[in-house]
């Protein structure tokens, strides 16, 4: 007996298309939860002076994540620590009107060591 629980736990799998809901016979489940979470992320970015992107490739397949970083009114300065993708990501951010620069340490382990 399920007692109204989702048949599949709320998990975003590493697939090429990310759906932030589960389609059920009762409609979309968990959509409100994920939309709220994305909204909280947007609000946090809007009030941040410094935004550090670590280990995120910002690939076109992740449209929602990219939109979060490339669209809207974000005044913070971006520091990018994404390995060999850092230069590309800094360029994309700059093309969207963001102030961005690669971190002095572009690999996560090195960046963390400087922050400790």
55-109: pLDDT as tens digits:
999 998 888 889 999 999 999 999 999 999 999 999 999 999 999 999 999 999 9
Structure tokens at 41: 């992320």
pLDDT tens digit sequence for 3-60: 454 444 555 555 566 666 677 787 877 788 888 988 998 999 999 999 999 999 999 8
CB within 8 A of 42, min separation 6: which ones?
Answer: 68, 72
Residue found by looking up tokens 């076109």 in the block: 60
CA separation (Å) from 86 to 20, 61, 83? 27, 18, 6
Q: Taking the CA atoms of the chain, what radius of gyration do you get in angstroms? A: 17
Tokens matching residue 77: 């300065």
Residues 6+ apart with CB under 8 A from 16: 61
pTM above 0.85, yes or no: no
The dihedral built from the CA positions of residue 60, 6, 43 and 79, taken in this order, carries a sign that is negative
């Amino acid at each position: 007996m399920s007692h109204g629980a989702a048949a599949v736990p709320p998990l975003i799998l590493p697939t090429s298309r990310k759906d932030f809901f589960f389609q059920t016979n009762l409609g979309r489940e968990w959509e409100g939860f994920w939309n709220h979470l994305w909204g909280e992320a947007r609000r946090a970015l809007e009030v941040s002076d410094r935004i550090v992107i670590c280990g995120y490739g910002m690939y076109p397949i992740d449209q929602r994540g990219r939109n979060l970083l490339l669209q809207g009114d974000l005044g913070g300065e971006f520091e990018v620590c994404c390995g060999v993708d850092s230069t590309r990501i800094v360029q994309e951010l700059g093309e969207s009107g963001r102030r961005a620069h690669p971190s002095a340490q572009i690999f996560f382990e090195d960046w963390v060591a400087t922050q400790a």
